[in-house]
Amino acid sequence: MNTSSPAPSSNVLVVDDITKNLQVVGTMLRNAGYAVTPATSGAEALKGIRVRVPDLVLLDLMMPEMDGLEVCRRLKADPLTQSIPVIFLTASNEMEHLVKGFEVGAVDYVTKPFNAPELLARVRTHLELKQARDVIFRNGLELRRLNDEKNEFMGIAAHDLRSPLNAVKGYSEMVLEDPALGTENTELVQKIHEAAARMAEMVQNLLDANRIERGEMQLRLAPIDLAAGVAAVLETQRARAAAKQQSIQMLHEAGALMVQADATVLTQVIENLVSNAVKYSPTGKNIYVRLSRSSEGTRCEVQDEGPGLSAEDQKKLFGKFARLTAKPTGGEHSTGLGLSIVKKMVEAMNGKVWCESELGRGATFIVEFPPA
């Protein structure tokens, strides 16, 4: 059973200045179970549409005063009627006008004299396509509503979790400073502190992702010295690298490397990429951060000596909650959100980010910013 067939109540507007044509086409459609609204001119058709919007329009191409091209053009310019499929009714000697018909928005045509099976097949096909588009549109609206609700819930939950987690971190730091704590208790409190720090990072990632999805990320783009910004980030990452006997080396071309970016967001992007390089590189390896000019702007490359990424991993690398084959080498955690946030932040600053990698040969993440 074909459940996608149009309902018998589908309304077809037939526009033709020749009454006989209206009668012939109207009879074909009514016998097939369609409701028919006739109109003998373009002006009458446009007026009638305001009373009852049809599901499809069969429109004579050549009519006096207002031809089918003008009627179609007006239908497609009106948000109320622009989604209605228009099929032109045309004589065989009017075929040269059809190209213009498609240009103004028609979806098909039927030639005179009318062949009933052909006309009904084209009507049925375009009504089914319209119904499918309508379903997709309604589903899209519902998905958008549900996504907005999800984002609102995530934002509230993450925001409410941040304060108590920060309190746990702060109190655990204070306890760790107590010299009378003892070795065993120190280890326990240290684990509490590390767990709270991981949770706080996860919450911050969720807040960032939610802020971006809701369009609430406010950027202040300005000329920034990329080398100075990157150098400041690397100073904050060297201690983590040293804990794994890794070295971070920064190499850059001479002269100022200015980019148009938001200073805070740029810092977050570079921190994420360098942090990932430390996280996924084995003990004793090197991490190289290279800054250079390119034909498109200014680049920052973060190269590690980790296990590299498979082609399959690279396809989902910048997706939300991505789970990759490569794993952190020092027991670090990963939320799977960092790179998706990086991509959105870089693109919000009119930049590009991508990865070049081979299994067993490390990975290089490249961010390219437009010049200042």
Pair 366, 342: CB distance under 8 Å? no
- Strand boundaries in the chain, DSSP class E: 11-15, 35-39, 56-60, 86-91, 108-112, 222-225, 247-252, 258-261, 286-293, 298-303, 352-357, 363-369
- Which residues, including other chains, have CB under 8 Å from residue 324's CB and lie 6 or more apart? 309, 313, 316, 317
Res. 53: pLDDT tops 80: yes
| Greatest Cα pair distance in the chain | 103
Tell me what the pLDDT averaged over the chain comes to: 86
Res. 125: pLDDT tops 60: yes
Res. 290: pLDDT tops 90: yes
Helices (H), 224-327: 226-243, 263-280, 311-315
Q: How far apart are the first and last CA of the chain?
A: 62
Cis ω before 307 (30° cut-off from 0): no
Q: Does domain 222-369 have CATH number 3.40.50.300?
A: no
- Tell me how far the alpha carbon of residue 182 is from its chain's centroid: 52
Nearest to 36 by CA among 18, 15, 50: 15
Structure tokens at 320: 């939300």
pLDDT band, residue 335 (cuts 50/70/90) = low
Q: Do domains 11-114 and 222-369 have the same CATH topology?
A: no
Model confidence pLDDT, tens digit, residues 202-255: 677 677 776 777 777 778 889 999 999 999 999 989 988 999 999 999 998 877
Q: What is the DSSP string of 10-77?
A: -EEEEE-S-HHHHHHHHHHHHHTT-EEEEESSHHHHHHHHHHS--SEEEEES--SSS-HHHHHHHHHH
pTM of the model: 0.54
Of residues 148 and 348, which shows the higher confidence score?
Answer: 348
Q: Does domain 11-114 have CATH number 3.40.50.2300?
A: yes
- The amino acid that residue 171 corresponds to is Y
- The amino acid that residue 363 corresponds to is A
How many whole angstroms separate alpha carbon 110 and alpha carbon 88? 6
Beta bridge partners of 324: none
Residue 1 has a pLDDT of: 42
Q: Read off the pLDDT of each residue in 157-172 and give the average, rounded to a whole number.
A: 80
Q: Count CB neighbours of 164 within 10 A.
A: 12
Of residues 338 and 307, which shows the higher confidence score?
Answer: 307
Q: Read off the pLDDT of each residue in 96-106 and give the average, rounded to a whole number.
A: 85
Residues 72-97 as b/e (b if ≥16 CB within 10 A, e otherwise) read: bebbbeeeebeebbbbbbbeeebeeb
What residues does each domain of the chain span? Answer: 11-114, 147-213, 222-369
